Amino acid sequence: MTLEERIALATRLAQVEVELCEAQRVSDGSEKARRRICAARAEYAATEELVLRVLQHLTDGAVG
């Protein structure tokens, strides 16, 4: 994985975390707000899963 790819992945994780925090911060309890939080949580979880898979792959490659 190149440095640029690592930076892009870290940037993406930061972006989805900011969106999740913002969605929670401005939530007024409405259906629209709850959908935004749900979508942000799902995107964060997917991005986090990708990061973990990449880290596992890098770790496996470093050991083997």
On whether the CB atoms of residues 47 and 5 are closer than 8 A, the answer is no
DSSP for 35-50, please give it: HHHHHHHHHHHHHHHH
Q: CA 44 to CA 39: how far, in whole Å?
A: 9
pLDDT value, residue 63: 59
Q: CA 59 to CA 57: how far, in whole Å?
A: 5
pLDDT value, residue 61: 76
Positive or negative CA dihedral for 43, 49, 55, 61?
negative
Q: Model's pTM, two decimal places?
A: 0.84
pLDDT value, residue 1: 82
Q: For 5-63, write each residue's pLDDT tens digit.
A: 999 999 999 999 999 999 999 999 999 999 999 999 999 999 999 999 998 988 887 75
What is the DSSP-derived secondary structure letter of residue 64? -
